[in-house]
Homo-oligomer: A and B are copies of this chain.
Amino acid sequence: MVAHWDVIIIGAGTAGLAALREISKQTDNVLMINAGAYGTTCARVGCMPSKVLIEAARALHDRVRHEAFGIRGSEGLYADIPAVLRHVRELRDHFVSGTLKPTEALGERSISGQAKLLGPNTVEVEGEIYHTDRIIIATGSHPVVPEPWKALGERVLTTDSFFEQTSLPACVAVIGLGPLGLEMAQAMAFLGIKVFAFDKSSALAGLTDPTVTDTLREALEENFTIHTGADVKLTSHGDGVMVEAGDLTFEVDRVLAAVGRQPNIQNLGLENLGIELDDRGMPAFDPVTTQIADLPIFIVGDVNNHAPVLHEAADEGYIAAHNALADTPSDFPRRTPMGIVFIEPGVAFVGQRFADLDPSALIGEASFANQGRAVAAQRNQGLLRLYAREDAVLIGAEMCAPGAEHMVHLLGLAISEQLTVHQVLRMPFYHPVLEEGLRSALRELAKQFPYSEPDLAACGEFRIEALE
């Protein structure tokens, strides 16, 4: 072992691996320390297993369209839940295996154990002391389980335990209706499980636009009931759980807790850095450098709680690596914020959120109830709302719509490039595609701005379902 490291990375998740990738381009004198399971939150318990579950659930749920399409025999379809979960784990293991390779390749430069900071240049792991010029903290996060629920033991699942189940019971309560809770609630309902869904807040899926939220709620309630506005109390009830929400009570077999995640800072020794910590024990940091104060320490990925999604974690690992190897840290402007919730109709948001809009912002919206392609696919539910500045530059969107995960990328490019409504309307929109629904919202926005150019951006709508 070397006596002094250039960089120590604590945490072998997505952010840590991104930092490792960049640092390894310049030096081999880097040490990776990881506590607990390897394999990234995404691959092990997050994006990937949930997406496999969701794809299987959607494949079964599509049977609701069969009768109208002229497809017969759907009444014999069912989910073999143990087989579904085995498939999820098989693919998960496949995905995880790829994420292990970078640390495996490190050999002795990879250590498994709990790292504790003793100061800005010193890390202790199981009694061993490691000296380093720079430290990158990338320890991730873990699901929150409220203290009173812990007495219910394995009857309260989180995503850490969910994908390890060999089967699922007939009736499940999902508590917490952010992106994760709704993805899991809908997937279970699509698979034929009775689902009751709860949240204290009436916000759904991280949306802030109430009209989009209303449209989403109506669509979701075709498959499970949603109860918002009351604190939820859980008590043991036979082999299951009694859920109390306001005046209502529900008997369920299991509960999925989806009430948020907490940064993994326990036992990390942040208190030894000589800097101020907030009441949750977190240090302040600069998102464009990822640096903590003026220390040689960078904090990246879910643990900093700045933008706990994979592509942002990867960006932060990249930023931290560059700044850890630089004499002075550089500012890296961050990407346009984006979120996707993998439910049907798809939820997505990008750029400025409705809740943060300036009162001068203009709004264009389009419903998918009569959108031609969505009608042809029997997926004609949804609402897309676009936000623009007074100079017609697009600044944000929230939507629940078929194809949302795709349209939000198109909007992500438009917003990143600060394009105007008219610039986007100059692009081609093929027919018949869901993106024509987006174009309808763009046209509604465009009408609110003076525009006299004789160009195709001004080519307007037919208001004929078959043609847009």
Question: Interface on A for B, CB 8 Å cutoff?
Answer: 14, 17-18, 21, 40, 42-43, 47-48, 51-52, 55-56, 59-60, 62, 65-66, 68-87, 91, 94-96, 98-99, 101-102, 309-311, 314-315, 318-319, 322, 330, 332-340, 350, 372-373, 375-378, 403, 405-410, 412-414, 416-417, 419, 423-424, 426-435, 454-456, 459-460, 462, 464-467
A466-B18 in contact (CB<8A):
no
A427's partner among B376, B405, B413, B424 (CB-CB below 8 A) is B413
Which chain B residue lies CB-closest to A424?
Answer: B413
CA distance A47 to B85 in the complex (A): 39
Contact residues in B for A78 (Cβ distance below 8 Å): 71-73
Task: Identify the 5 closest CB pairs spanning chains A and B, nearest first.
Answer: A406-B406, A70-B83, A70-B84, A95-B466, A73-B76
B56-A60 in contact (CB<8A):
no
CA distance A98 to B96 in the complex (A): 51
CA distance A310 to B74 in the complex (A): 35
| A428 with B350, Cβ < 8 A, contacts A70-B81, A73-B78 known | yes
Contact residues in B for A71 (Cβ distance below 8 Å): 56, 59-60, 77-80, 84
| A423 with B417, Cβ < 8 A, contacts A435-B406, A459-B314 known | yes
| A377 with B55, Cβ < 8 A, contacts A48-B372, A338-B430, A456-B318 known | yes
Q: Other than A75-B76, A413-B424, give 8 A-B pairs with Cβ distance below 8 A.
A: A42-B431, A42-B432, A70-B85, A72-B80, A96-B466, A318-B459, A406-B433, A412-B429
Which chain B residue lies CB-closest to A321?
Answer: B459
CA distance A81 to B69 in the complex (A): 10
CA distance A99 to B99 in the complex (A): 53
Chain A contact residues, majority secondary structure: helix
Contact residues in B for A405 (Cβ distance below 8 Å): 430, 433
CA distance A355 to B407 in the complex (A): 29
A134–chain B nearest beta-carbon distance, Å: 17
A338–chain B nearest beta-carbon distance, Å: 4
CA distance A164 to B337 in the complex (A): 49
B431-A311 in contact (CB<8A):
yes
| A79 with B74, Cβ < 8 A, contacts A429-B409, A464-B101, A467-B14 known | no
A68-B87 in contact (CB<8A):
yes
A413-B412 in contact (CB<8A):
no
Contact residues in B for A66 (Cβ distance below 8 Å): 59-60, 77
**Assembly stoichiometry (copies):** 2
Which chain B residue lies CB-closest to A88?
Answer: B70
CA distance A18 to B468 in the complex (A): 12
| A433 with B417, Cβ < 8 A, contacts A69-B55, A70-B80, A460-B21 known | no
A42–chain B nearest beta-carbon distance, Å: 6
Which chain B residue lies CB-closest to A334?
Answer: B456
Contact residues in B for A409 (Cβ distance below 8 Å): 406, 410, 427-430, 433, 435
A56-B40 in contact (CB<8A):
no
Interface centre among A59, A60, A335, A430 (most CB of B within 10 A): A430
CA distance A339 to B433 in the complex (A): 12
Contact residues in B for A467 (Cβ distance below 8 Å): 14, 17, 40, 42-43, 98-99, 310, 314
A454's partner among B95, B332, B378 (CB-CB below 8 A) is B332
Interface centre among A71, A74, A350 (most CB of B within 10 A): A71
Contact residues in B for A70 (Cβ distance below 8 Å): 56, 79-87
Contact residues in B for A375 (Cβ distance below 8 Å): 91, 94
A430's partner among B52, B95, B340 (CB-CB below 8 A) is B340
Which chain B residue lies CB-closest to A92?
Answer: B466
A215–chain B nearest beta-carbon distance, Å: 21
